[in-house]
Amino acid sequence: MRPMLNRSPMPGLGLSMGITLTMLSLVVLIPIGALLLKGANYGLAGIWETVNRERVWSALFLSFRLSLIAALFNLVFGVLLAWVLVRYRFPGRRLLDAAVDLPFALPTAVAGISLTALYAPNGAFGALAAEIGWKIAYTQWGILIALIFVGLPFVARTVQPVIEEIEREVEEASATLGATRLHTIRHVILPMLLPAALTGFALALARAVGEYGSVIFIAGNIPLVTEIAPLLIIIQLEEFDYDSAAAIGIAMLLISFAMLLVINLIQVWSRRRIGHV
């Protein structure tokens, strides 16, 4: 068996390990542990009782359903973006490339009020939509727009380096063997991008499920209709109902871990199927 720790001539073992483990515990592990401990005291039955209310179910269902749709949109658009940014040369390419990172850099509260200003009935896009009777802000459409915004960079940024690595010989071989360009893209290129795209998809999904700042302004926050799960936690906290807040928090934590696990399994499967990636 491998020893717990190999002896190494490198200095600084005690110091770097000490700082790492102390800060990790203090900032991340103890707080998450406190949440789980609260849940353990409350018991599975207690958690279930809190979660099993119409308002909580509909908030959880809303958060996960819209996050899934937003992540699927970003999966497709992200691959398209990555392809265009890596393969084509055109004026303004660098600007577009930098713009992809904007949702990471722009604080969520800023994005939230700005999207609301754009999509409200008197906003630039909202007024256009209103002409055909389409209400975006303060409906589930508004939440979807906000979730697409925050998740936009993930797929593009995970897929871009993979496209850069694809060797042209593979595409040439495919073309030489008589495949049309569309055929090559579908059967040769896209399968190579799949694992990275799924990673980006999982990250976008996890981000969207927990998103709060960019959503609450545009959502309207009507219980059972446009109330997201993170907002429900805040409402419980403001009523000093820590047990319910913890129960919803644990439910969200468990569901997002479960989703990440499923996505990881899909990735393992797709890597094995394609073999070489």
Partner 1 sequence: MSDATFRPATEETPLARRILIGLAATGLAILVLAPLVAVFVEALRVGIGAALESLTHKDAWAAIKLTLTIAAISVPLNAIFGVAAAWFITKFDFRGKAFLITLIDLPFSVSPVVAGLCIVLTFGANSAIGAWLVGNGYPIVFAMPGIILATMFVTFPFVARELIPVMIEQGRAEEEAALTLGAGGWRVFWTVTLPNIRWALLYGVLLCNARAMGEFGAVAVVSGKIRGETATIPTTIEMLYQEYLSVAAFTLAAVLALLALVTLVLKTLLELRHADQLAATHRH
Within 183-202, the residues that bind partner 1 by CB under 8 A are 184
| Interface of this chain with partner 1, residues 29 to 48, rule: CB under 8 A | 29-32, 34-35, 38
Q: Does 24 bind partner 1 (CB under 8 A)?
A: yes
Task: Read off the DSSP letter of residue 186.
Answer: I
CB atoms within 10 A of CB 176: 9
Residue 204: closest CA among 265, 154, 252? 154
Q: Does 265 bind partner 1 (CB under 8 A)?
A: no
Q: Which of 40, 102, 222, 254 binds partner 1 (CB under 8 A)?
A: 102
How many residues sit close enough to partner 1 to count as binding (CB under 8 A)?
101
Q: Which of 42, 64, 138, 217 binds partner 1 (CB under 8 A)?
A: 217
Q: Which of 47, 209, 219, 226 binds partner 1 (CB under 8 A)?
A: 209
Give the nearer residue to partner 1 in terms of CB position, either 57 or 212.
Answer: 212
Going 192 to 194 to 199 to 204, the CA torsion angle's sign is positive
Residue 143 and residue 150: Cα distance in Å, rounded?
11
Residue 236 and residue 55: Cα distance in Å, rounded?
12
Q: Does 263 bind partner 1 (CB under 8 A)?
A: no
> 134 φ, ψ to 5°?
-105, 115
Site track for partner 1 across 76-95, x = CB under 8 A: -x--xx-xxx--x-x-x-x-
Question: Residue 105: how many CA atoms within 13 Å on its side-chain side?
Answer: 5
Min separation Cβ 116 and partner 1, Å: 8
| Interface of this chain with partner 1, residues 129 to 158, rule: CB under 8 A | 145, 148-149, 152-154, 157-158
Residue 243: closest CA among 63, 28, 35? 35
